[in-house]
Amino acid sequence: MTSADGSTTPDLATRLQSAIALAQAVETHGEASQLIHDLVADLQDQSPEAIALFQQLWTAYISSQRSSQFWQKISEAEKQLSDRLSASHVQLKQNYLRLMQEQ
């Protein structure tokens, strides 16, 4: 993948950025991994050692993205639970005060 001026960096960088953008959502991890697979195939002849390291980094990146999204969903669930508990507590307190006023 060499352009007319002999440069491969912009195209490779653009493809890598596209894969990283796709990796932001779990639903598009497959597409992102396919882009990386194609990128690695294009670079295979240049440096097999670098390719192996790159693949390990990509795997770690995808894993960290999944982990991050998992913990974000856990955090959102905890927030919703906390909000419901707070609302329930306020309601109980209001009911208690109303009961005390009636007595």
pLDDT tens-digit map of 34-88: 999 988 888 888 888 888 888 999 999 999 999 999 999 999 999 999 999 999 9
pTM: 0.67
Query: Which region holds residue 7: left if phi is over 0, alpha if psi is between -120 and 50, else beta?
Result: beta
Confirm whether 39 is domain-assigned: yes
| CA nearest to 20, candidates 32, 38, 34, 37 | 32
Name the residue among 60, 64, 12 with its Cα closest to residue 36.
12
Residue 1 lies in a domain: no
Residue 84 maps to a domain:
yes
For residue range 13-36, what is the model confidence (pLDDT) as tens digits?
898 899 999 998 888 988 999 999
Look at residue 41 and tell me if it is in a domain: yes
17 assigned to some structural domain: yes
Structural domain containing residue 21: 9-102
CB–CB of 57/79 below 8 Å? Answer: no
* The total number of structural domains that make up the chain: 1
The helix, strand and coil proportions of the chain, stated in percent and rounded to the nearest 5, come to 85, 0, 15
In a domain, 35, yes or no: yes
